[in-house]
Each structure stands twice: as C-alpha cells, then as structure tokens.
Amino acid sequence: MCSADGGSGCADACCEGPPLDTKPLVIIPTYNEADNLRAIVGATLAALPSATILIIDDKSPDGTGAIADELRAADQRVRVIHRAGKLGLGTAYIRGFEYALAGEYSCVFEMDADFSHDPRYLQPMLRELQTCDVVIGSRYVAGGDTPDWIFTRRLISNAGNLFARALLRVPLKDCTAGFKCYRREVLAACDFGAIPLEGYAFQIETVYQAYRRGFRLREVPIVFVDRHLGHSKMSRQIVLEAFTYVVRRRFLNPLPTQATRQRLR
C-alpha cells in the first residue's frame, strides 16, 4: 500500500525517486551484537554492494565496537560511530539521519543487526522507493509474517498497531516496523528529535510525521524472524512508552497535516 498526500512536504516529482545506482546509507545501531555484526555487515554488502553501512555502537561491553572498527578497516564502505554509553535506539537513528544529511546520501535505510530484518529485502525496498518516499518492511501486509512469535506476542503487536493506526489515523498495517527506507527529503523535512523516544514509539513517530507532512508511504511484505544469537532488547518499558506516546500525540500534541489529497496504490 502506498498512501500519499501532495502537500508542501512532497511534490509530484517525488514519484520518480532516487535512481537505482544511488549510493544508499544503511544505519545499523548496535549494543552487544558481537555474535551478529560480521555476518550482518557481510550479508548487507552482498545484497546491496553500492551501500555504505553506518554502525552506531553504544559502547557495547561485549566488544561489538572493536569488531566494527575491524570491519571499517577492512572495507571502506563501512563507517563507525562510537557513542559514550547505552543512549538508546531512537537517538542512534537520529544520529544516523544527521550523518546522512551531512553527506550526499539520497536514501537511508534503518535496520537491526540481528537478522530479524533480512538483507535480501534491501534491493526490493530500494526499487520501491522509485515511486514513493518511505518504504516500510511490513509484517502485516499480504506476504508478511512473524513465524517464530508466540500467540501473546502476536496479540500485543497487532493490538498496538491497531491502537496506533486508529488514534493517529496513519493508514498502515505495521506502524511499529523498524525496517524502513527513506528518501533524503523526508529526513530533511521531519523533526524526529523533537520528542525523545525509543523502540516502537520512535518507529510510530517516524511514519506519523512523514504521513502528516504529505509524503508517500508504502508497505512491502517481509518475513520477520526472531534473532538466533544474542538477546532481545524488547521490554515492557518499550511497550508502555509506545502506548503513552500514542495517547499524548493524539490528544496533547497532534501534528497539523499538510496534506491536500490522498492516493493509495
């Protein structure tokens, strides 16, 4: 699905998207990903050889930062930012967006380091960006799946997405998805740092702002698998933050829409 509003945020020319030979930036935040980092970087560069990978490590105690430096020394397509401590996923992505805007990258991916976001989807997502502004790797459109999840996790995730979609009126099946590709213009127009958020709440905020500012959003199916190595970063606090964020956004701090029309594809 592609939903778009042709307001000041996005002119019709945006439909052309960046050329496929564009050099994209792939942002991979890390905290204790020593078991996964070499493999995910190798798989990402194999799937999208034109990409630059930006690893943002939050001073992982397991040596992830040192591995990132080894990868950077071995391949000029790998860049590394070391941060002073565990500052969180949302701030890591914001730092990555700033890096992208300071450079000449015309499209930016965000993805996890644990293979729950399979690099094989990178090239198809980049192709989809030709005709929209944000591509979301969605678990909940036709063809998407979460095969490893137990019933309660599916229930919580589906309920959370339904809640966010209903209150914020963003026409997406997967508002909490963390596998995305943005055109540069989206990152330049949105103020993702306005509210300090992590996890699901940050992901909801990115699509909420992009949609309300008139950019085209498209969901493409992905199969989301649970990590095989390392430990999940999901917590009750992250879920609660997402719930309270949606309520605050809807009733206390809604973003005026710049939309003038809507297109669905």
Is residue 261 situated within a structural domain? no
Predicted local confidence at residue 93, as pLDDT:
93
Number of domains in the chain: 1
Hey, which residues does 134 pair with through a beta bridge?
A: 182, 217
Whether the Cβ atoms of residue 80 and residue 69 lie closer than 8 Å to each other? yes
Residue 238 lies in a domain: yes
Residue 265 in any domain: the answer is: no
Domain of residue 32: give its range.
2-253
What's the pTM? Answer: 0.84
Q: Which two tokens stand for residue 208?
A: 């909420």
Predicted local confidence at residue 4, as pLDDT: 44
User: How many CA atoms lie less than 13 Å away from 255 in the CB half-sphere?
Assistant: 23
CATH number of residue 83's parent domain? 3.90.550.10
Q: Is residue 128 situated within a structural domain? A: yes
Residues sharing a CB contact under 8 Å with residue 73, sequence separation 6 or more, in sequence order: none
Does some domain include residue 262?
Answer: no
Task: Look at strands 52-57 and 25-30 and give their pairing.
Answer: parallel
Mean pLDDT split into 10-residue runs, the chain, 265 residues: 43 46 88 96 97 97 97 98 92 94 94 95 95 96 92 87 89 94 95 71 90 95 78 60 71 60 37
What whole-number distance in Å separates Cα of residue 165 and Cα of residue 170?
5
State residue 11's pLDDT score: 39
Residue 90 covered by a domain = yes
Q: 206 in a domain, yes or no?
A: yes
Is 218 within a domain? yes
What pLDDT does residue 6 have? Answer: 36
- Please give the Cα distance from 141 to 145 (Å, whole number): 8
